[in-house]
Structure 1
Amino acid sequence: MTDAKRKQSGGGGGHPAKRSKGGQGSGKWQTPQHKAKVASLQDKGVALGVGDKGIWVTFARGMDGKSISEFSALCDEYAKTIYGIVPPGEEVESDEEDEDIEASIKKELDGISDVNKGKTKRTFKAIKAGIECVFFMKTRDPVDPLELCRKMCLDASVCTDLKERKTKYINRLTPVTSVDKASENGVARAARKALAAHFDLVEEASHAAEGDAEKVEGESDAQVEKPACTYAIRPSIRSNNSLDRDTLIKQIASVVSPRHKVDLTNADKVILVDVFQSFCGMSVIERSDWDDLKKLNVNELYKASPGAKANRPAPKEGEEKTA
């Protein structure tokens, strides 16, 4: 009987314990953790989402960490110059020279507390795309991604000394002023938001169906008609197989009023479209800037800058005659 009790104890007590530890307990622990991690990334702004804006950045192969660090510092520098935004961690000089140590410590602790509570959000946040040589720099108001890119590129184009160039690893910048889902409705919403300041848009059919015709008419009366201009659409699709390039172009063009014509060779404006995974982002740039600033390629602008030309060896006599 003693042996029977031992068998019952081993079979009834040991085996269920293993099942509980290896199966049921593990399943309950993993799923919430995964969900919590995704939610945490969204809350911290380290994942791309609808309503975001920022800059797609391409960089030199193998320079992931250095390129993000370099561009983050550059963004902080320009944000301070253009918008007066003090970079995080930078000390602000006090007007009170006789401020005691205790007050100084309290002010610093208050700043740390605000960050921990989520009251202070960074103006820039780099998001790794999971694809080689590309990351997204998310921006917050009042930063205008297009203005920021344009200023960076203009400064690179007039650099007189390559020893003072601000970037070594950054290549092309693509501003994004509107982000939405990479779906039919999402593309339309992103287009309307990004293009509204530059083009007259076709009226949304949904307004008429919902009986909001009077509201739309009032809005159109209040808006100033945009000058007629030509445009070209330049799409880029990464890690997405659901959107066809030609279909995407036609869908965006259908949002623009027929007053504005497509011109693939000499357009007045260029519509930049970036599709990444399940998101679609857009912005509009003047063609003159697009061409003169080498499609916003910072590295190429430095190579063509006055500083680069000054460092080039003088051509030989035979080469001068040939040229």
Structure 2
Amino acid sequence: MSETKRKSDGRDKGRRRFRADGTPIWGQRNIDGPGVWVTCVKGKERQTVGELYDVFESLANQLWPAESVTASDEPQGSDDDDDNDDEGADDIEKRIAKEVASMKRPRKETRFANCQTSTPCVVFIACKPPVDPVKLVVTHVQNVADTGVTHTRYSQRLTPVAGSCVANIAEIRSLCSRIVTTAFSEQPERKFKVLRLLQYKIELRMRNHNTLTRDKLISELAKCVPEGHIVSLDDPELFILVEIFKSVCGISVVKDYYKLQKFNVMEIANAKNLKDENAASRVLDKEKGDAGPSVGLTTTGTEADIEK
């Protein structure tokens, strides 16, 4: 291969941003760890990742702000202004060395990474510590419920998972026991430190998976819940979200899952905006009623009186 050809290939490779299958080169190939499952508009997976990066980074900066620069990282001047010229030169060299060192510092590691799913309408964004995907998603959907603004165009349902594992019974039970026990123990207790019995429901969703059956999985998942808590299909306090995609299983525990439209941001925004429109319409109707008969009716009555 000629030198020109090698250089051309190198430049093309350097400019390449996506693999042949459409996945970005900065994404992970394996789905692992805590993160967020996202359903989106078909054919808009790439745009979904981009818009969620912006939303998640903005929220993460508020919830987990980056550590401020310590005083030791700041350039420090000399305390003695009366040092001789040699000491002044040394001080300048130290400052230059610090500036060069700061320029060579590695870039801050990203807190989110897109993982390859190779499936239309499905995206998984992994979250790195200290980001808690459950807190992240709940904060976002609550903001949407309060404002009616999604800040996204293609994202639909967001399902946070506190951890992931291989989709087999042994691994799922181990992961579920850890996550559920921790989540249930964090709930407020009754007076006198009496354990509060909670009502819960298992929300299981399976995609591209035919090894395990729903009935078998739900039965095994229920065994992981601490004794004494009650299953409630109508009005649960906690929801155990279980997301199985191909050979990966993710689990989390959340509240208000039904109240917040199963974390579908499009439906949450539509419900909020429709509610506001109805409220505005009722206010307008009330104002019309308080204003009394319309001008047209009043005029007609006046004309009738004149004719008499």
Q: Call closer, same or farther: CA 1:308–1:225 in 2, change over 3 Å.
A: closer
Residue identity opposite 2:134 in structure 1: L
Deviation at 1:104, TM superposition (A): 5.0
Cα deviation for residue 107 of structure 1 reads 2.2
Report the equivalent of 2:240.
271
User: Do the aligned partners of 1:61 and 1:133 also contact (CA within 8 Å) in 2?
Assistant: yes
- How big is the shift at 1:78? 0.6
Match of 2:45 among 58, 64, 72: 64
- 2:147 partner SS: coil
SS of alignment partner, residue 48 of structure 1: coil
Aligned to 1:250: 219
- Counterpart of 1:196, as a letter, is T
User: Paired residue for 2:206?
Assistant: 237
Cα deviation for residue 267 of structure 1 reads: 1.4
Q: Given the superposition, is the C-alpha separation of residues 254 and 225 from structure 1 closer, same or farther in structure 2, using an over 3 Å criterion?
A: farther
SS of the residue corresponding to residue 239 of structure 2 reads strand
Q: Which amino acid aligns with 1:179?
A: S
The 1-side partners of 2:279 and 2:37 are apart by: 31
Aligned partner of residue 138 in structure 1, secondary structure = strand
C-alpha separation between the residues in 2 aligned to 1:305 and 1:76? 24
Match of 1:81 in 2: 62
Cα 1:284–1:226 change in 2 (3 A) is: farther
| Greater Cα radius of gyration, structure 1 or 2 | 2
Change in CA separation of 1:233 and 1:44 when aligned onto 2, cut-off 3 Å: same
Distance in 2, Cα, partners of 1:253 & 1:155: 32
Distance 1:107 1:47, change over 3 A: same
Shift in Å, 1:295: 0.9
- Match in the other structure for 1:134: 122
Q: TM-score, normalized by length of structure 2?
A: 0.66
Summarize deviations over 1:268-309 as a string: whole Å, max 9, x none.
2111001111111111112xx212211111111221225983
Contact 1:175 1:283 in 2 (8 A): yes
Amino acid in structure 1 at the alignment position of 2:132: D
What is residue 153 of structure 2 aligned with on the other side? 168
Aligned residues: 234
1:107 pairs, out of 102, 105, 111, with: 102
Percent identity of the aligned residues?
25
Larger deviation: 295-304 or 240-249? 295-304
State how 1:102-251 maps to structure 2 within 5 Å.
106-108=101-103, 110-111=104-105, 114=106, 121-159=109-147, 162=149, 165-199=150-184, 226-251=195-220
Aligned residue number for residue 304 of structure 2: none
